[in-house]
Amino acid sequence: MGIKVLYKSTLTILLFLVFLGSVSATHNRAGEIIYTQISDLTIRATIITYTKTSSIDADRDSLLLFWGDGTSQQVYRSNGFGEELQGDIKRNEYIADHTYPGRGTYTMGFTDPNRVANILNVNAPNSIEIPFYVETTFTFLNPQFQGSNSSVQLLSEPIDFGCVGEKFVHNPNAFDVDGDSISYEFVIPQEGEDVDVPKYKFPDEIVAGPFNQISLDPITGNFEWISPQVVGEYNIAIRINEYRGGVLIGSVIRDMQIFVSDCENSPPEIESIEEICVVAGEFLEIPISISDPDVGQQVRVSATGGPFEMEISPAIISLEEDYVDSPTEVVFQWQTECDHISETYYQIVIKAVDNFFVNQNSGLAALKTIRIKVVGPAPQNLSTETFPEEIKLTWDSPYECEFAENDYFQGFSVWRKLKSTQFEIDTCTPGLEDRGYQKIEFITKEKEGDKYFYFDDDVMKGNTYCYRVLSEFARLSSQGFPFNPVSSLPSNESCGILIRDIPLLTEVSVVETDAVNGAIDVSWIRPKLPDLDTLLFPGPYTYQLYRGRGINAQDFELIPDATFTSTFFDSDIDTSYTDMSLNTSAEPYSYRVDFLTGPQQVFYGSSSVASSVFLGATSNDNLIDLIWLENTPWENYNYTIFEVDPNTGSLDSITDVTTFSYRVQGLENGEEFCYVVRSEGTYGIPGIIDPLYNFSQEVCEIPKDSLAPCIPDLIVMNLCDDEDLIGPNGEFVNRLLWTEPSEGCLLDSDLESFNIYFSNDSVEFELIANVSGDAEFTYDDLLDNSVSGCYAITSIDSSGNESKLSSIVCSANCPLYELPNVFTPNGDNANDLFVPRDNRFVSEVDMKIYNRWGELVFQTSDPEINWDGTNFKGKELAEGVYYYKCDVIESSVDGSQERSIGILSGSITIIRSR
């Protein structure tokens, strides 16, 4: 393997020299570096920049690219003088090839002075002084075993437009041609390698607040800003990480720019599906509707994504090149092929832009991200055939994708488990991971006639073996080794028993629920002929039914009247029994059938153990939670919940579930409700009754309200956030605002009120207010001398149930203390005292005033100072300049001195002239 080579110190020095030698001019808006691997150790890199067209002096016909191996190269622009776009934007491409000394991980980057001016969140207000730098990290894999590695391609341009007060959305729309998985994350823009731009603020930190938030979906790449507050230009940087087999192998950093304008405009609206999964070979057609809420505005629709980049059968979409009237509709169409099968989702981004910014040929945009997964078809018609020492599997040939392009189809894997597992095939979840199956054959293509086949000889008598088959796909390295494997949808399940020469239980069903006279029906089937050799093991034949207490009973006792004997194997004999006088209300029961043969009644074997379904119930506010347990040799794949009619005792089906629990909601508190669960299962073996139905006992419960409302999300604001937050009489105000953590969890419950708690130390809280649940979710706490303190809130319902405390939110003082530099103590009742111009949250000062010779003439600890221009003896001081030092002490919650916030110094001029 190669060594990671970075040469950081050399790169940093060279970048600095380039910076010094360049003309300082406003220039760079956005950009990134992408690459394609063209041989084992050679890549083709493309620098893409978006610059300011009007900055002619700073236009670059070449850029210095540092390859990350200690070398650099002047790379010339490949798209002429650049592509001029609307809005004073130019797109530039610089392409070069480079061969590295060995395999390893490298980071290539370039720097260029300077960024454009007036970027609000980069070194404001002097972003023009900051260089523009992006980098891309990549790994040379072993080409024989791991394949080649090219970077993601970013299909959306990194320049976008937004409006103050409106939601802004953007998506880089990364596509990886190798099928690697990708993720997105925020990073701080850089001015050099490992050097962040100075004074960077994320966009939501410019006039931060509850309605100014950014987020980035790490899976889809959707960037949302709710919502811009200040007009101007912003830059963000996004790192797109690339993984193969769960290992990070590369990343691309995109530095992009957002223009925010003050406009009365709403973005277009896009309606379509968000996600779909299709089987390779299906024709996919997705209608997409676009409209604009602003009357008279037109929209222009564009689409980017991996499906449009495919070499084989690329997707198409019906688009107009220019703006069209709203509303409009476009149609995405894709004839999927086997070569499109992928472990990861394809992503298309539909962008609708209105024509609000006519001069920039752009407007406010809306995005719709549609994720598409193409999965491999399931192998068809799997069946099993049992032999004395092995089980044979066969399935259909030809397989639909066995002739896929580029040898993409690799063969079939065979999976096995004990007992049947029935589940609904989910097109979005191919493979068999976490389904309980074990892979017993990794790749096979064995075929005879029109069937693929596989023999499983690692089997034991008495076990039920169930099988499924997957098709396997993978890209191939230069030496034919697979990478980025992906499995198809699973085949149908087929089960078999090597020798079925013992009884099989098929029913353990409660037919009467009672503490004394409960009853359970038990049934079984006889051994199978000729699996049981009746010549070697002649009759008579006897079945003995044993009972144990509990789901996983260890001790079993023979039921006295549950022994059944026949002289001949095929003569009529009972294979069912009703077990009575049981406490089915309180406990489940388990059963086993023993099989005896011959005149001496020799024990031959026992069935597997099966229990009844045991149902439990707990109640809460207007609901009952049902949960049940079981232990059966067959697989139960569905459960029907029945409500018992209180008048007739009949069972009314209310739902079907595949889990072991269910919540019944919308019930009346104080009223009794009764339920029964019926399981539906199978052995998955031909010739055995299918499905198998078994009932639980009946349980009853009364709902009651013991559930507290949800915990609110709390926010605290004051004049530190908004200078207008002052009480009616000049008091300080901490304004509490709270919201629902999930939609409807407060408004849809029987909410009564909220309790407001306050603490000086975030430990000991006291109740300071109770606010009605009918009011707005806000409360103003009026304070005398401080906004410092901690708050928490709870919600209370009509039954008095109180939620836990919300997250504790603490508010700190924002002290302000400003002094004038002149006053006129001349007795005219105007400006006669030296007092602070502003005094907020200051409890004490250490104020010392000196004359020009350094003599102390006045001293006080009163933050209002109130100096009348006299010395310690009360004598008026002469007009002129005096000097002060003032240590300012911040007030705490209770008004006591807490900490020094700094020492002020300056001059004071006394003027006495009238």
pLDDT at 525 (0 to 100)? 93
- Establish how many alpha carbons lie within 13 A of residue 582's alpha carbon, considering only the half-sphere containing its beta carbon: 26
Residue 244's nearest CA partner among 155, 336, 145 is 145
Q: Using CA atoms, how far apart are residues 774 and 419, in angstroms rounded to an integer?
A: 56
pLDDT at residue 657 above 50? yes
Question: What pLDDT is stored for residue 165 in this prediction?
Answer: 85
Name the architecture of domain 816-910: Sandwich (2.60)
DSSP string for 61-105: SEEEEE-SSS-EEEEEBSSTT-EEETTTEEEEEEEEEEE-SSSSE
What's the angle, vertex CA 850, arms to CA 847 and CA 856, rounded to 5? 80
Q: Do domains 614-701 and 713-811 have the same CATH topology?
A: yes
Q: Which residues of 601-614 are buried (b: 16+ CB within 10 A; e: fewer)?
A: eeebbbbbbbbbbb
Which pLDDT score is estimated for 26? Answer: 65
Please report which confidence band the pLDDT of residue 13 belongs to, taking 50, 70 and 90 as the band edges.
very low
Residue whose tokens read 């309200």: 705
Tokens of 847: 């104020």
Beta bridge mates, 326: none
- Phi and psi angles of residue 451, each rounded to the nearest 5 degrees, phi first: -135, 140
Average pLDDT value for the chain: 89
Q: Which residue in this structure is represented by tokens 């030092």?
A: 885
Fold of 713-811: Immunoglobulin-like (2.60.40)
Q: Nearest 5°: phi and psi at 833?
A: -115, 145
386 or 615, which is more confident: 615
Statement: residue 722 has pLDDT above 90: no
pLDDT the model gives residue 706: 79
Low-confidence winner among 123-127, 284-288, 379-383, 569-573 (lowest mean pLDDT): 569-573
pLDDT above 50 (res 659): yes
Instruction: Identify the architecture of domain 614-701 in CATH.
Output: Sandwich (2.60)
197 vs 10: CA distance, rounded Å = 20
Dihedral of the CA atoms 187, 217, 148, 444 (nearest 10)? 150
Residue with tokens 């731009």: 197
The closest alpha carbon to 694, from 770, 605, 630, 602, belongs to 630
Give pLDDT tens digits for 615-631: 999 998 889 999 999 99
Strands 766-772 and 778-783: unpaired
Nearest one of 562, 566, 564 to 589, comparing CA atoms: 562
CA 858, 860, 862, 863 dihedral sign is positive
Could you tell me the two tokens for 732?
């300080």
Query: Has residue 478 got a pLDDT over 90?
Result: no
C-alpha 878/C-alpha 914 separation (Å) is 14
The fourth-level CATH superfamily of domain 504-606 is: Immunoglobulins (2.60.40.10)
Pairing of strands 269-271, 283-291: antiparallel
Top-confidence residue, 147 or 596:
596
- CA–CA separation, 662 and 660 (whole Å): 7
Separation CA 100–CA 97 (nearest Å):
10
Task: Give the helix/strand (H/E) hosting 24.
Answer: none
Percentage of the chain with pLDDT > 90?
Answer: 64
Alpha carbon distance 49, 85 (integer Å): 13
Q: Which residue has the tokens 């697989």?
A: 635
Residue 661 CB neighbour total at 10 angstroms: 11
CATH classification of 269-375, choosing from 3.40.630.20, 2.60.40.10, 2.40.160.10, 3.90.650.10?
Answer: 2.60.40.10
Residue 359: pLDDT band with limits 50, 70, 90 = low
| Radius of gyration from C-alpha coordinates of the chain | 39
- Average pLDDT of the segment spanning 691-703: 96
Task: Give the start-to-end residue ranges of the domains of the chain.
Answer: 8-261, 269-375, 383-497, 504-606, 614-701, 713-811, 816-910
- Nearest CA to 146 out of 342, 46, 340, 1 is that of 1
End-to-end Cα separation, the chain, in angstroms:
89
Mean pLDDT, residues 404-415 = 90
Give the CATH class of 383-497.
Answer: mainly beta
User: Which region holds residue 249: left if phi is over 0, alpha if psi is between -120 and 50, else beta?
Assistant: alpha
CB neighbour class for 448 (10 Å; exposed up to 12, middle 13-18, buried from 19): exposed
Coil/strand/helix, residue 58:
helix
* 829 Rama class: left (phi>0) / alpha (psi -120 to 50) / beta: left
What phi, psi does 540 have (nearest 5°)? -70, 165
Q: For residue 545, count other CB atoms closer than 10 A to its CB.
A: 25
